[in-house]
Structure formats: C-alpha cells, structure tokens
Amino acid sequence: MRQIWITRAGPPEVLTVKKAPDPEPKAGEVRIRVEASGVNFADVLGRLGLYPDLPPIPVVPGYEVSGRIDAAGPGTESSWVGRDVIAMTRFGGYADVVCVPAQQVFARPPSVSALEGASLPVNYFTAWQLIVVMGGLKPTETVLVHSVGGGVGIAATQIAKHLGARVIGTASAAKHAGLRTMGVDYLIDYRTEDFEARVREITGGRGVELILDAVGGESWKKGYRVLARTGRLGVFGVSAAVSGKQRNPMTMLSLLAKTPWFQFNPLSLMSANKGVFGVNLGHMWGEIDRLRGWADQLFDLWKQGVIAPKVARSFRFDEAAQAHHFIQDRKNIGKVLLVP
C-alpha cells in the first residue's frame, strides 16, 4: 500500500508518499481499498505540529475515506466484502488501503460518488453537532458561519438553510459570488472588514442567535459580544494559530493572549443570557451509536437533495503538498480530497 506521511513538522513539502505491506484486518475490522481520502484543516495543524490529538510525528494523518471493502477480519460479516463504503479513520486515512473497525463504516449509496463520500463524515458530523445537536438553530434565527467557504462552512450553510434560518458567512472576497449561489445570505470579508460591525449592521443592531467559530482568539471575543440575547457561540477550532506554511510560535502566543479566558464566566453568561459551547468531533468516536444516528439523518437529507458535499478539488497522492498549499492559500470552496 501507499501512505502519505507527515515526516516532520514543517511546510507542505514534508508530506511524503511511502510504500508498506498491505495491512490485514484484525478481529472486528474490515479492509478498504481507498478511492478518496478527505483533507481537513486539522491535518494542516497536525503537519505544523500544532495538533495535540495527533500521535507523535512521523505519522499518517487522515480522518475519513471512501472506497470498497476487499477483506473482513475475524468476527466481521463477510457480506461487507465488495461493498462501497465511507469510513471514519481517526488518523491513517491518507492511505490507499486502510483497516478500520466495522462500526466506523457506513454503506455508500449508489448515487454517492467516492469523492462525495469522503467529503461527508468530518464536515457534516461537525456541522450537525454544531447546528442541530448543540446549537439548536431555529427557523427564525440568524447564524454567523466563519470560514463559510470551507468544508464545514458549506455543510453548515446547507443544514441551516434547510432549517429555514438566515446565514451570514465570512470568507475571502474571491469566494463571495460562488457562496452566494450556495445560499449564504450575507457575506463578509473578515480579513478586510470588521465582522462585528457588519453583523450589527446586517441585523439592525440585534446580533445573531448562533455563531460557528473555528478561527479562535479575538474572533471569539467579538463573536460573544455580537450574540443576541439567548445567542450561542459554538467554538470548534483555532485556525488563527496558523499564519503561514511554517510553524510560528509567535502566532500561537498571540492567539493565546487574545483568547477570552475570563469573558465567559458563569456570572457573565447568566447576566447576558448567552451560551458558549465547544465541539471536537475527534473526541466523539466513543459515541459511535450517536454518530450512526446522525449519519442516518444526513443520508435522508442527501436523498431528499437537501445536502450535497461541494468538492473543491482533488489531488493525487503525490500532490499532497499542493493540496495543503491550496487550503492554506485559502483557495478552496468546499472539500479538498486526495485520490490514490
């Protein structure tokens, strides 16, 4: 098999394709011949040595794949063999062969391509947890989605619009026209405009009921201020920790300095009628039955044409560095994938 390794913390070029013997599925596992692997911003953080959950480098990153099962381990139903599937991998997904526990595998409907399949788990489970499970978004409400052009942002937009909510999104200016056609009602270029002021303007001073913020630091402070009464701030990432293609300790320190450690205390939350909650999908793997329930609901919405992943671009395994450059250069509208 071929795997893409993070060989050391550094620029995209540290990603290296290496060969290894095909793995054999253990008890309860199936083996998948991978047709597409999802790339996530967490992989960029991991490559820079900024992702605490990642096993020590050198490591094969990757949370999700789609492909076809070619072997089933002891205790696993042999009827799985030959089926097209989507799987959550929690590392090791940047590979053309993976072995995963069968409960982390979902049958891929015939109408869903391999590229679309690998775009689903991380982005849509995260958006679902943020908007439906914890954010409780309602039809009359307005949600502010940061990095709305990324994989999670587009998934969140589709779910929010289905619920009948209004979406304000932040993204680089070059993405605005495309995102408007995908249903984002108002767009803000958060690198040149003050999103707090713009949100107040758009909402007539009221603020928003839900915010999805994986930028972190100062952005969380501003977001908390611009929540309407009963508003909820969902925090789920720190992309502001990344300022370039190399790790920069000063950026990390600046992010920590700007993090509102004391603003969200129980007394201030109570008197402001606001809520703050966090999401880390990587720590939900132990809740596999709940995730499978979310998947059923998401597949139903897919069948109804309510959701559909937007694939930004796919790269060959030997172009993995370019895939990371593409994301860090803020060029993707939708999901970036690796294809063996």
Name the residue among 65, 73, 110, 115 with its Cα closest to residue 92: 65
- Can residue 254 be called a binding residue for ligand NAP (CB under 6 A)? no
Among 168, 281, 307, 337, binds ligand NAP (CB under 6 A): 281
* Cα gap 160→242, rounded to integer Å: 28
Q: At what angle do helices 288-303 and 121-128 cross, to 10 degrees?
A: 100
Considering the complex, state which of residue 41 and residue 220 has its C-beta at the smaller distance from ligand NAP. 41
- The count of residues interacting with ligand NAP (CB under 6 A) is 30
Among 233, 242, 276, 295, binds ligand NAP (CB under 6 A): 242
Between residue 73 and residue 132, which ones bind ligand NAP under the rule CB under 6 A? 122-123, 126
Among 3, 104, 142, 239, binds ligand NAP (CB under 6 A): 239
Considering the complex, state which of residue 25 and residue 237 has its C-beta at the smaller distance from ligand NAP. 237
Name the residue among 119, 174, 108, 125 with its Cα closest to residue 151: 119
- Can residue 231 be called a binding residue for ligand NAP (CB under 6 A)? no
- Can residue 236 be called a binding residue for ligand NAP (CB under 6 A)? yes
- Can residue 338 be called a binding residue for ligand NAP (CB under 6 A)? no
Measure Cα distances from 303 to 56, 113, 130, 274, 309 in Å: 40, 13, 22, 35, 12
Name the residue among 274, 279, 263 with its Cα closest to residue 134: 279
Among 6, 100, 137, 171, binds ligand NAP (CB under 6 A): 171
Q: Which residues of 258-288 are buried (b: 16+ CB within 10 A; e: fewer)?
A: ebbeeebeeeeeeebebbbeebebbebeeee
Considering the complex, state which of residue 85 and residue 214 has its C-beta at the smaller distance from ligand NAP. 214
Considering the complex, state which of residue 76 and residue 147 has its C-beta at the smaller distance from ligand NAP. 147
* Cα gap 207→44, rounded to integer Å: 32
Close Cβ partners of 190 (under 8 Å, ≥ 6 residues apart): 146, 170, 171, 215, 219
Among 67, 237, 260, 340, binds ligand NAP (CB under 6 A): 237
Between residue 180 and residue 219, which ones bind ligand NAP under the rule CB under 6 A? 214-215
- Can residue 179 be called a binding residue for ligand NAP (CB under 6 A)? no
Give the nearest distance from C-beta 23 to ligand NAP in angstroms: 26
Q: Are 127 and 200 in contact (CB under 8 A)?
A: no
Among 62, 150, 231, 260, binds ligand NAP (CB under 6 A): 150
Considering the complex, state which of residue 180 and residue 303 has its C-beta at the smaller distance from ligand NAP. 180
Between residue 20 and residue 49, which ones bind ligand NAP under the rule CB under 6 A? 40-42
- Can residue 67 be called a binding residue for ligand NAP (CB under 6 A)? no
Instruction: Please give the residue ranges that form the binding site for ligand NAP (CB under 6 A).
Output: 40-42, 122-123, 126, 147, 149-153, 171-172, 175, 214-215, 236-237, 239-240, 242, 279-282, 327-328, 330, 332
